[in-house]
Structure formats: structure tokens, C-alpha cells
Amino acid sequence: MQFGIFSVSDITTDPTTGRTPTEAQRIKDIVTIAKHAEQAGLDVFALGEHHNEPFFSSSPTTTLAYIAAQTSTLQLSTATTLITTNDPVKIAEDFAMLQHLADGRVDLMLGRGNTGPVYPWFGKDIRAGIPLALENYGLLHKLWREHVVDWEGKFRTPLQSFTSTPRPLDDVPPFVWHGSIRSPQIAEQAAYYGDGFFANHIFWPASHTERMVGLYRQRFEHYGHGSADQAIVGLGGQVFMRRNSQDAVKEFRPYFDNAPVYGHGPSLEDFTRETPLTVGSPQQVIDRTLGFREYVGDYQRQLWLMDHAGLPLKTVLEQLDILGEEVVPVLRKEFAALKPAHVPDAPTHASLLASKNAKEEVQA
């Protein structure tokens, strides 16, 4: 099982000091955070895409390429890549390039985002969000698997005898996770292609996540990709830890209360009760995370949001150390002991390449 962190790239004032980091500082800090995640023994770093304040990550592949040059084992991903407003041709090219630069340590999460104005900014209609997501991914999937593409759709210029360059590394496209908070159509899309489904799992109760993942698993099996429990599932989450749970709550409360995402809404106590947010001791995080398996089944990737809401860099790095030293080693052992042998691990470039070579040997 893969464990890691994701960032939404917010630039938020620290409510305890009144300081707001500059864009330059946050961009440099995110590189430090990603490198520290690898040093702490985590597997994945994922970066979101936004085109509006207070976020900085408008070009995640640029940042991930820079991080790739300074890491050696970290799997690099997005959280998310906007499949509705980005050109599928550009996505195909950018991620294939990143694949080569990172020696295959790349996958991506596709989503529609949560910023309505991004649609007209890029000449799209938000009312066509789902059809855009379906058509654009159909083209992206084709571009990575066919050398010469002829294509015509509703939302972009037709392609005639087009070849996306560079080609995917080893002729193996990056693995795709389809990320969603609330859209069953996206779970259906992930199942249709046999791709991964990533449930945001941050703002909604367990019952909602259970239904979304259950739909994806059922449809994954329906399309003949394997049994329902072999479907590839990822979950998001949020944690804040201190040795003593009371200290964690006291320290995190002002950040929660003022966060642009969920501040000035439900209380911290209500939010931690109704959603997967866990603020407490490392053991509480372990217990809560192990509990996710009870309603989503065996899953392959767990990512946490840790650098948001104005938390200072020093605090974020401390959180990563706690994750790496006290939480993830226990979770690795416990999840591994529970997982049946027929349930696959999270796909990597190496595993996808091995599967491709095995199929070619059989066909030969």
C-alpha cells in the first residue's frame, strides 16, 4: 500500500502570527515538503492544479519535474489535473515528458476541480462539465495508446494523423486515478477503463464515500477488469498530530477555524466526528485510518492533506516526521496483514511495464 501527502497549494495567512507567505516562499516550501516526505519514508507526493488565488499551483507538472530531479524514490502525482479545461493533447505531452524526466515515477489524478470560474477562463461551459470530462479523457486515453490518431468530438478541433510526442516511457502510459467528491459518473468512467478511483474523502461522511467506492467496485467487475475487491482505490484524508491529543486540538483549532476551505463553518469537534479529519495522537490516526478499510475494503493509496490552512513549514515537517516514524510503519504492517493475496498493489511504472511484457510474451 502506498502512503503519501497531497497539497492543494493554498497561500493562507497563519492565524497565530498574522504572517502570509509570498508565492515564492510557498513554491519553495512545497519543494522542501516533497523532499522531506521522501526522507520520512513516504511513497507519494501529489500536487493540485488551480488557476485562481489563493492558490499557486497553476502548472503542477513544472513543479513535479523540479521535485523529480531532487528525489529518487518518491512517486509523483497530481491532485488534481483538470481534465475539463485542459487540452487532452497537452496533458498527454506534458505527462509523457514528466514520465521520461522522472524515470517513470509519475501518475496523475484527473478531476473537474472545484472552481466554477475556471471554465469560462478557459473557454468552457461548466454546464458541460461531465461530458467534457468523459470526452477529453477518451481522447487522452487514445493518444497514449495509438501512435497515429484520427479523432473527432464535440469540444475541440478534430485530429488527423496526429502523434503525441514524446511517446509514453517504455510505451507504458502513466497510471490514471479519476478523482471525485460527489459524481457517480466519474466512478463509472474509472471503472469502464479499469483505472483507479480516488475518493476525496475530506468533506463528506463515511456513508457517502462507501457508496461511491462501492459503485466503482461493482462497475469495475461489470466491465471485466477483475473482481470488485481487485479494483484500485485511493483515499484522501486530513490529520494533525501531537503526542497528546489535547495539545493537537489546541494547536490546530485556530488553523481550522480560519481555513479558507472549511473555516467559519462547523466546529472542529463536529467536523472530526462527521468526516475523516483526525486531530489527535499518532495512535488515534492509526486507529481511524485502519477503520477506513471497514467501509471501502482493501485499498491501495492513502494520501493526507498536511500543508494547508496557514500551517508554518516547521510544523508541516514535524507532521511528516511523525507520519514516517510512528504512523505509516504501523499502517503498512497492519494493512499488509489484512490484504488478501489476490488484491493488487498500487500500480507503478515497473508493475505496468512487467504486465505489458508478460502479455506480449503470451501473444508471441
**Can you give the CATH number for the domain in which 271 is found?**
3.20.20.30
**What value does the mean pLDDT take over residues 9-15?**
94
Between CA 348 and CA 335 the distance in angstroms is 19
pLDDT, tens digit (0-9, with 9 covering 90-100), for 135-176:
999 999 999 999 999 999 999 999 999 999 999 999 999 999
Q: Which amino acid is at 65?
A: A
Q: Rounded to whole angstroms, what are the CA distances from 127 to 82, 84, 131, 290, 322? A: 15, 11, 9, 38, 43
Between CA 180 and CA 119 the distance in angstroms is 17
User: Which residues of the chain form beta strands (DSSP E)?
Assistant: 2-7, 44-47, 75-78, 81-82, 107-111, 149-151, 159-162, 175-180, 196-199, 233-235, 239-241, 278-280, 301-305
Q: What is the pLDDT of residue 355?
A: 94
Q: Which pLDDT band holds residue 8 (cuts at 50, 70, 90)?
A: very high
* Cβ-contact 79, 307 below 8 angstroms: no
Q: What is the pLDDT of residue 363?
A: 85
Predicted confidence (pLDDT) at residue 220 exceeds the cutoff of 80: yes
DSSP state of 55: B
Query: How many helices and strands in the chain, by DSSP H and E?
Result: 13, 13
Grid cell at residue 37: 516526505
Q: What is the pLDDT of residue 114?
A: 65
Predicted confidence (pLDDT) at residue 182 exceeds the cutoff of 80: no
pLDDT, tens digit (0-9, with 9 covering 90-100), for 280-307:
999 999 999 999 999 999 999 999 999 9
pLDDT, tens digit (0-9, with 9 covering 90-100), for 239-277:
999 999 999 999 999 999 988 777 678 899 999 998 899
Q: What is the mean pLDDT of the chain?
A: 94
* Cβ-contact 68, 174 below 8 angstroms: no
**What value does the mean pLDDT take over residues 307-317?**
96
Of the listed ranges 126-135, 190-199, 320-329, the one predicted with least confidence: 126-135
**Domain extent at residue 220:** 2-363
- The share of the chain scoring above pLDDT 70, in percent, equals 99
Between CA 282 and CA 269 the distance in angstroms is 18
Q: What is the pLDDT of residue 183?
A: 84
Between CA 254 and CA 283 the distance in angstroms is 23
Q: What is the pLDDT of residue 57?
A: 92
Structurally, how many domains does the chain consist of?
Answer: 1
- Asked whether the whole model's pTM tops 0.75, one would answer yes
Q: Which pLDDT band holds residue 203 (cuts at 50, 70, 90)?
A: confident
**What value does the mean pLDDT take over residues 63-80?**
97
What φ, ψ does residue 324 adopt, rounded to 5°? -70, -35
Predicted confidence (pLDDT) at residue 121 exceeds the cutoff of 90: no
Measuring CA to CA, which residue among 111, 151, 162 is closest to residue 132?
A: 111
Strand, helix or coil for residue 149: strand
Place of cell 471525485: 180
